[in-house]
Structure formats: structure tokens, C-alpha cells
Amino acid sequence: MSIQRNILCLMALVLSGAMEFANACTSAIISGKVTPDGRPIMWKNRDTDNLKNCVRYMKGERYGFIAVTSYADNPSSVWMGTNDMGFSIMNTLSYNLIEEEGKGSSKRNGAVMKRALEICATVMDFRHYLDTLSRPMSVRSNYGVIDAQGNGSYFEVNSTKYVEYDVNDPQVAPHGFIVRTNYSFSGQLNEGAGYVRYQEAHEKLFTASASGEITPRWLFSHLSRSFHNPLMGIDLKDGKHNKPETSGWFAEQDFIARRSTSCAVAIQGVRPDEDASFTTMWTVIGYPPVTPAVPVWLKGADKKLPKALTVDQNKHAPLCDASNMLRDKIYSYHRGTNTESYFHWELLFNLSGNGYMQQTERLEEELFERFYSSIETWRSRSVIPEELVFNLYDDCDAFLDEKTLR
């Protein structure tokens, strides 16, 4: 009986580890020193078992904020967001932080981020917030934060302590950016997850940082929709993995874009001489290879946000639902066990140029071209007009409804 119980316990541990590793997020903080317009950017691909995500406005104790959350009413957790003061936060779970007395956990990560958006205005505030949390903190995470003064840091946090990595410190980030996946630099060597995804993101950012290419649009195209495995030397976008060379199917292994990727966000901060209200949260709600990015701001967010990104009266976010339907077509092979990693690459990308991802990138390019000029005009006039923000949301919803949601 004890042997059976031990086997069951071992199986439970293995299965729980597999479920936990499904949360395989990839993220980066890019200093304004290496972006073409001098504005910092915080980017994340979020991987999770809960594929129903939306954007909502929430009023906190001190500050209001917009954030990616689940469909649930008044959620206790948020997964990335920005507040009235231009303070922004995200996280990736870390699987190699040393826990003391077995008290480490990942259960409070989302609640910590929600509270931080409520009360923090700066990176320094977040540092103080961590200092005041009671121990054990019941977290195990790499928190990424930026603020309206151009500061940006990752905090690798476990149950009792944290280590900070400043993106503006040349000894920490000599090339002006920091990448984190699902392990911590202060954690156990060669443990955790996401080393190949880290390599992919770091190599691409290293090259782009030298040539001033890193923008939200670049991040979505080159990282959120990356199907390159640098360890194997395979890039599915090279055309060698499509018909007639192959069947058009492939198995997922350590790509940044994954079946469990539920959304992607690039929060574009402000220069120190700009108002924090210009902080822009470029948001992909849904599977990034088939979903274009939509910009949102705090200005007027308590009254209106794009309908495509927010839950309706039936508790559904239209763009997320449409994205999930396409994801189901891509990951449609279900014969037998352990088939979840097979996906129909030919549907995403093909030599005819009409794959879902290829169409999405053309739509996103059109969206950026149509709406980015308005944003630049607001910046040049140092004012972000609420009415024009609402008009842009309406135009964006109409554009998406015509192009992607039917």
C-alpha cells in the first residue's frame, strides 16, 4: 500500500511540474538608451493554462490602472499592466529560486502585481513595497517594472528575499536590455526552464539594440511570433518546413510562440520630459501568431476601452475568443496521447503567403500605419485628448471587426 501511495505521490509531482512549466513566459525590459525614440519598453509573452484574457480598468487604493486579467469579475490577480503614474509591471514564474523551509510559492504573484499597481508610482516604490511585505512572501517570480522617470529593473523574488537587476546599469545590462524567462540569475545553476527561449530573445535583442530597431512592432514580429529554436538551428519561417518539403506539420519545442501563449504586451513608457499619461500598452489579446496588437491608454479608461479587448455582457472578449478559435484549428491533432505539441504550421505560414500569421502581420502593419500618426501628433502637442482616444478605439474596433472577427 505504501509503495502504491509513493508512486501516486511521485506521479502527482511530475504532473504538477508539467502543469507549472506550461506557464512558460518570455519577457524583456529595454532601456530608452537603445530604443529609436528614447522611450523604455517592457515586453512579455504570457503562457498560461487560462487562455481567456482581457484588458480592464481597475481603480486602486491610490492609482487607477489598466491590466491584462482573466474574464472573471473583479479578479484578485493581474498579469501585466500600467497605472496613472506610468508605473508598469509584469512577471515570469521562476523555477530555480532556492526556497527556505519549503515556503516558496507562485500563488500570490498576480495579487502582488495588482497591489503594486494600486500603490506604486516608481521603481523605488516597488522596492519599498517588497521590503514591507511580511515573510514568507509566498512568491517565486521575476518581476519586471518600469516607471515614468526612465527607470527599469527586474526583481528576482522568492519567499524571503529579492535581488534587483537595473536595466540602466551598464555592468548589469551592457547592451541596454535584460531578458528573463522561467529561471533566475540568482537561482540554482542550470535549473528552471526557458534557457533556449532566453537565448533566442537575447540574441535577437542584442543585434537589434545596436541598430536602433527595437520598437513594440518589432518585438511582436520578431519575438512574440518567433518560431526559431537556436539550439537546434531551426527557423520555421525559412520556408524549408512547408509543403512540398514537408507535410506542413511540426512539433513545438522551445519556441517563444507556444500553444499556451495567451497574450503578448509591449508597454511603451515615456521619456522623462513627457507626461506619464502617454504610456502606451500595446496589447495582443490571444495567441500572438494570429492576433494583431491594439494600443490602450489610461486616459479615459474608466469610461471606455476597445470593445475587442474587453469582456462584454456575456463575459467574453471578442478578439480573444476569435484568436482561440484559430488556435484550435492550428493545434487540431488529437489522436492518441501526448499529441498536444503538434501544430499545423502550413496554416500559420506557407509559401503562398496566406497563412494566418502572415495575414495577421499585414493587418498589424496596416493598423500601426493608420493609428501611429495620431499618437505622434498627440505627443508633439503634449496632450492626449480623451475624445480622440475614444475615436481611435472606435476606428480600431471597426477595423478589427471587418478584418479579423467575422
The reported pLDDT for the residue numbered 382 is: 94
The reported pLDDT for the residue numbered 14 is: 39
Degrees, nearest 5: CA angle 385-388-390: 110
The reported pLDDT for the residue numbered 336 is: 96
Residue 165 three-state SS:
strand
The reported pLDDT for the residue numbered 38 is: 97
The reported pLDDT for the residue numbered 65 is: 98
Cell 521603481 identifies what position?
123
**Distance, CA of 327 to CA of 360 (rounded, Å):** 13
Quick one: cell of 233?
Answer: 538551428
Task: Kindly tell me the sign of the dihedral angle through the C-alpha atoms of 296, 299, 302, 303.
Answer: negative
Q: Which residues of 263-277 are buried (b: 16+ CB within 10 A; e: fewer)?
A: bbbbbbbbbeebebb
The reported pLDDT for the residue numbered 107 is: 66
pTM of the model: 0.93
**Number of helices and strands in the chain (H, E):** 9, 17
Residue 211 burial (CB < 10 Å; 0-12/13-18/19+)? exposed
* CA distance readout (Å), 350 to 162, 243, 248, 357, 374: 45, 8, 8, 9, 34
The reported pLDDT for the residue numbered 403 is: 82
The model's pLDDT over 98-116, given as tens digits with 9 standing for 90+, comes to 765 444 455 689 999 999 9
Greatest pairwise CA separation for the chain in angstroms = 74
68 Cβ contact list (under 8 Å, min separation 6): 46, 53, 54, 55, 78, 79, 80, 81, 263, 265, 283, 285
* CA distance readout (Å), 254 to 28, 182, 232, 336, 337: 17, 12, 10, 22, 20
**Distance, CA of 235 to CA of 218 (rounded, Å):** 17
Would you write out the chain's pLDDT as a tens digit for each of its 406 residues?
A: 444 443 333 333 333 334 445 679 999 999 999 999 999 999 999 999 999 999 999 999 999 999 999 998 889 999 999 999 999 999 999 999 976 544 445 568 999 999 999 999 999 999 999 999 999 998 999 999 999 999 999 999 999 999 999 999 999 999 999 999 999 999 999 999 999 999 999 999 999 999 999 999 999 999 999 999 999 999 999 999 999 999 999 999 999 999 999 999 999 999 999 999 999 999 999 999 999 999 999 999 999 999 999 998 888 999 999 999 999 999 999 999 999 999 999 999 999 999 999 999 999 999 999 888 889 999 999 999 999 999 999 999 999 998 875 4
Query: How far, in whole angstroms, is CA 63 from its chain's centroid?
Result: 22
The reported pLDDT for the residue numbered 404 is: 72
